[in-house]
Amino acid sequence: MKQLEDSALLGLLRNSDYKAFDELYLRFWKTLYMHALKKTGSSDDASDLVQEVFTDLWDRRKNIPEINAPFKHYLRSILIFKVADYFRRKGFSELHIADFEEFLSNTPAESVATPAIHEEHRQQFDKALALINKTVANMPKKMRRIFVMSRSGKYSVSQIAESLDISNQTVKNQTANAMQRLRKATADFSLNIFFLALFYWLTIS
């Protein structure tokens, strides 16, 4: 099993090969665990989240789609959804929201495949994503530019301010106003759906 490519192991997994599942677990559990630990600050919670990722993988093994991106990116996308749900269960205080926003901004776009969302949430995700697209498109030009630059993770507040010849506070205000517009537009959806859709929008924009 150790010599097989991830794609070959996935083929075996779809046929309920537990040894293939075990090999995938051994290959990726530590990376996922460290990522979850960084976000939750709890070794127990991080372990639980990783177990949930692999439990879902096994339960849905026969319906795993063809994956063009590296498999680790697919697993990372499942973990993102689990972390979002974790914060929701914790009550999603403002501190949790800020932490999750930091999580999104510090996760490279190339490290995430199309979100692995349960079918019952797919329609909500698609609708939230469409609303985010519409809301961003309708933002004033300067607000839209500041928001996209700030959420890309490539520019600091001071770099954006210098680039656009505005103050740091203006950058912060415009970014906050943009987020308020997005939250208002997607108020009918849970925060984990909102943040997952927002993150995916940022990766494809």
pLDDT of residue 96: 47
> What's the pTM?
0.51
No. of helices (H) and no. of strands (E), the chain:
10, 0
Of the listed ranges 18-22, 101-105, 109-113, the one predicted with least confidence: 109-113
What is the tens place of the pLDDT at every residue in 116-131?
555 556 778 888 889 9
Categorize the per-residue pLDDT at 138 as very low, low, confident or very high, splitting at 50, 70 and 90: very high
Give me the residue spans of the domains in the chain.
Answer: 1-116, 118-205
- 1-116 maps to CATH 3.40.50.10800: no
Q: Is the pLDDT of residue 107 over 60?
A: no
Domain at 118-205: CATH code: 1.10.10
Chain CA centroid to CA 54, Å: 17
State the pLDDT confidence band at 79, using cuts at 50, 70 and 90. Answer: confident
Whether 152 has a pLDDT exceeding 80, the answer reads no
Task: Report the half-sphere exposure of 7 (CA within 13 A, side-chain side).
Answer: 5
**Amino acid code (one letter) for 121:** H
As a residue count, the chain comes to 205
Look at residue 104 and tell me whether its pLDDT is greater than 60. no
Task: Quote the CA–CA distance of 170 and 94 in Å, as a whole number.
Answer: 21
98 pLDDT exceeds 90? Answer: no
Q: Which two tokens stand for residue 39?
A: 């976000």
Q: What is the pLDDT of residue 205?
A: 57
- Give pLDDT tens digits for 45-67: 889 899 988 998 898 888 887 77
pLDDT over 90 (residue 140): yes
The whole-number average pLDDT for the span 61-76 is: 82
What mean pLDDT is predicted for residues 74-84? 81
| Helix H or strand E encompassing 65 | none
Nearest to 111 by CA among 79, 149, 64, 74: 74
Query: Which residue in 40, 123, 125 sits closest to 82, CA to CA?
Result: 40
DSSP codes of every residue in 113-156: -S----HHHHHHHHHHHHHHHHHHHTS-HHHHHHHHHHHTSS--
- Compute CA distances 130 → 90, 124, 125, 143, whole Å: 27, 10, 9, 19
The per-residue pLDDT for range 163-183, each reduced to its tens digit, is 999 998 999 889 888 888 998
